[in-house]
Structure 1
Amino acid sequence: MVLLPYALSSLHSDTLSQIQKHLAENQPVFPDALATIDFLDLVRYSDWLSAIAAIEASLSGGSTIDRIATVVMQEGADPRGLLAVVASPAAEAVTRTLAQRGQTAAAQQKLALLSLEVPNDVAMARMIREAQDIIGRRPP
């Protein structure tokens, strides 16, 4: 999600709260089976997470990237959310945050568990390996 720097700051906090509530009530869901990974689901989730994290950061004064990293690493979070973020434009910043928090190994483990769900899907297994490699790179 690309936002002009002033876009959210130009909105009243009541408006942001209403948008936040709407987004929270309409979180995209992945199919029940972890083995079902659709590229459009990944894009949809990444856009949703970027939007809600930006709004939450604007309301709280926090960081959008910190919020994204927190959401994808929550206990019980769908690992496809992490995959979506690593495949997004925010990947470098999020992986840097994960490294700063000491969560690189945990993020790679989340994706390793996801790869067990798609043992016969060569394309998906490759995508997951690439995501693990991106997470493992030393941040600049």
Structure 2
Amino acid sequence: MPLIKRTAARVAVGVLAAAAVAVSGPVAAQPAMADTPPVTGSLTITPSTTVVGGTVTVVATATNNTTSTQEVSLGIDNPQYAAQQITAVSGSPCSPRNLHSLIYCGDYLAPGATMSIKVTLTPTAAGTDNFRSYA
């Protein structure tokens, strides 16, 4: 898939909005999808509330909905990274890069295949954390 189309697909899917919690506040995952999505994405945050020192898991996924192999990028935007201690980052089938405020990876996905990034973190300060995902 040419870079222009991949970028357009990423923009069309847009930001998958979700709010995670450092101490108290609800998590509301609200996935957004393009009109005709070649790739769909989702973001899951558990638990919905925690305490300073608790553990939060953030999982982003992307699925190839086409009938051909697609080059797919997946990322988690984490603007409040300074108030967290990231304890683990993993991906399947990709190996994510952890740039603190952005954790991302990319790979070629077969038709119907799914890619995921999993981030485990510990909040170090009270407040609400806002995570976004792109695919």
**TM-score scaled by length of structure 1:** 0.26
| Between structures 1 and 2, the one with greater helix share | 1
Task: Flag the structure with more relative contact order, 1 or 2, with Cα contacts below 8 A and sequence separation at least 6.
Answer: 2
